Amino acid sequence: MRAVLISGDNSMPAVSVTEVDPNILEGDVLVDVHFAGINFKDSLVTRPNNKVARITPLIGGVDLAGTVLSDSTGTYEPGAAVLGTGHGIGTSWHGGFAERARLPVGWVSPLPAGLDQRAAMILGTAGWTAMASLLELERSGLVPSDGPLLVTGAAGGVGSTAVALAAAAGFDVAASSGRAQEADFLHQLGAQRVIGRDEIGDASPRVLGEERWAGAIDCVGGETLTQIIRSLRYGGAVAASGMTGGDRFTSSIFPFIVRAVQLLGIDSVEVAPPKRHHVWQQLAQRFPPQLLDTILEREISLDDVPELLELIGSGQVRGRVIVEIT
Ligand SMILES: NC(=O)c1ccc[n+]([C@@H]2O[C@H](COP(=O)([O-])OP(=O)(O)OC[C@H]3O[C@@H](n4cnc5c(N)ncnc54)[C@H](OP(=O)(O)O)[C@@H]3O)[C@@H](O)[C@H]2O)c1
């Protein structure tokens, strides 16, 4: 079968599109892969000295959608449409950039009603993470009348799907992006305002900044998260999922004990199957279907994956990219 293989030593991984013996695959459920999605993490496994890839060689691809060919546990009938996202897929287990995949049955999700395989991969783990972030904010008590909701990294995968989901839920969305040229795209998704990366907090050196945001969906981390925490309104919350801007942030205790703000961590990897399925169902019901093609930047073949991994790794992908496999 054809696959995108990441091979060689972790200090200098090599990416190639090549023929691979399907017998290297292990797992209960054999899937005929139709679509895969490209995520930031797919680029991380190709970086020298990364701590994300756990096996070599590795078939990349953290997201896949396809139909079941066989299931040794009897859970899924042949022909069932399924998704594989999260767990070790594409990092410690061969992933979705291939014509076939085999997965442990617990890592497989049924395709949620309302999405076909292509739509599910347009949303992918990025969309799942955006949905999980909004659900956590809502669980914290956030409602649209509380005030503006900030989305960071807004032109990327998590960010663009978060803008669309939050706007559809009635929030006044401020989209923060380093790419001013994507303002029209972000307004199309429902953003009321587009601001720069450095306009999240005020410039004062005080530990507490001006109260700006009722809530925030942040996939950037680093200094961005530092600024968000000191700029949340009283009782506000930030759902934090990523680190494209850095894996360290600083805070004093004051936003937490003076303004009762909440920092909510979002994980799409180890989350238990019932919650994973619930978030997928919510995403299928709440993402505006007319915006699927707006967030899709392009649809590529396996041959184009190596180039796209470089682009997403350097923040140059707008919205989402999917791979049509068969
Ligand atoms: N917790 C989880 O389970 C989970 C799940 C999915 C993703 N993630 C993480 O979430 C992050 C985003 O993933 P993604 O798939 O959305 O990636 P993506 O499509 O590449 O989008 C990331 C966005 O971050 C912004 N960005 C990039 N470099 C930056 C920098 N140096 N400083 C500030 N902003 C920067 C850019 O947005 P603008 O150009 O608009 O500024 C970029 O489009 C990644 O760190 C990923 O690992 C975590």
How many Å apart are CA 236 and CA 143, to the nearest integer? Answer: 10
**Ligand 1 touching residue 219 (CB < 6 A):** yes
Domain final residue pick, 247, 265, 283: 265
- Residues contacting 217, CB < 8 A, separation 6+: 130, 133, 134, 137, 149, 150, 151, 152, 158, 159, 162, 166, 238, 239, 241
Task: Indicate whether 102 and 224 sit together in one domain.
Answer: no
**Ligand 1 touching residue 158 (CB < 6 A):** yes
Please report, for the domain that includes residue 98, its CATH number. Answer: 3.90.180.10
In a domain, 230, yes or no: yes
Query: What pLDDT, in 10s, does the model give residues 110-148?
Result: 999 999 999 999 999 999 999 999 999 999 999 999 999
Task: Indicate whether 252 and 140 sit together in one domain.
Answer: yes
In a domain, 281, yes or no: no
- Average of per-residue pLDDT across 208-218: 98
In a domain, 310, yes or no: yes
Residue 163: which pLDDT band, with cuts at 50, 70 and 90?
Answer: very high
pLDDT score for 108:
96
Domain final residue pick, 228, 249, 265: 265
Task: Indicate whether 91 and 199 sit together in one domain.
Answer: no
How many Å apart are CA 258 and CA 200, to the nearest integer? Answer: 20
Q: Are the beta carbons of 202 and 209 closer than 8 angstroms?
A: yes
Cα end-to-end span (Å), the chain: 11
Task: Indicate whether 77 and 174 sit together in one domain.
Answer: no
DSSP string, 216-257: EEES--HHHHHHHHHHEEEEEEEEE---TT-S-----SHHHH
Q: Using a pLDDT cut of 90, give the percent of the chain over it.
A: 98
pLDDT score for 172:
98
Range of the domain at 191: 123-265
How many Å apart are CA 154 and CA 151, to the nearest integer? Answer: 6
Task: Indicate whether 145 and 247 sit together in one domain.
Answer: yes
Q: Is the bond leading into 57 cis (omega within 30 degrees of zero)?
A: yes
Residue to probe by mutation, ligand 1, list 195, 227, 244, 298, most atoms within 8 Å of CB: 244
Task: Indicate whether 297 and 252 sit together in one domain.
Answer: no
Tokens linked to 136: 């956590």
In a domain, 49, yes or no: yes
Task: Indicate whether 45 and 75 sit together in one domain.
Answer: yes
Query: What pLDDT, in 10s, does the model give residues 178-200?
Result: 999 999 999 999 999 999 999 99
**Ligand 1 touching residue 241 (CB < 6 A):** yes
Query: What pLDDT, in 10s, does the model give residues 43-62?
Result: 999 999 998 999 999 999 99
Task: Indicate whether 240 and 133 sit together in one domain.
Answer: yes
- 164 membership: H or E segment, kind and range: helix 157-168
- Per the confidence metrics, is the pTM higher than 0.85? yes
Residue to probe by mutation, ligand 1, list 40, 181, 187, most atoms within 8 Å of CB: 40
In a domain, 62, yes or no: yes
In a domain, 173, yes or no: yes
The Cα angle at residue 157 between residues 153 and 160, in degrees rounded to 5: 65
pLDDT score for 310:
94
Query: What pLDDT, in 10s, does the model give residues 239-262?
Result: 999 999 999 999 999 999 999 999
pLDDT score for 70:
98
In a domain, 274, yes or no: no
Residue to probe by mutation, ligand 1, list 46, 219, 317, 320, most atoms within 8 Å of CB: 219
pLDDT score for 203:
83
Task: Indicate whether 107 and 129 sit together in one domain.
Answer: no
- Average of per-residue pLDDT across 194-219: 96
**Ligand 1 touching residue 264 (CB < 6 A):** no
**Ligand 1 touching residue 127 (CB < 6 A):** no
In a domain, 9, yes or no: yes
**Ligand 1 touching residue 160 (CB < 6 A):** no
pLDDT score for 236:
98
Domain final residue pick, 265, 281, 312: 265
- As for how many domains the chain has, the answer is 2
Task: Indicate whether 155 and 250 sit together in one domain.
Answer: yes
Tokens linked to 32: 């005929």
**Ligand 1 touching residue 284 (CB < 6 A):** no
pLDDT score for 186:
98
Please report, for the domain that includes residue 141, its CATH number. Answer: 3.40.50.720
Task: Indicate whether 158 and 222 sit together in one domain.
Answer: yes
Task: Indicate whether 57 and 154 sit together in one domain.
Answer: no
pLDDT score for 326:
78
**Ligand 1 touching residue 268 (CB < 6 A):** yes
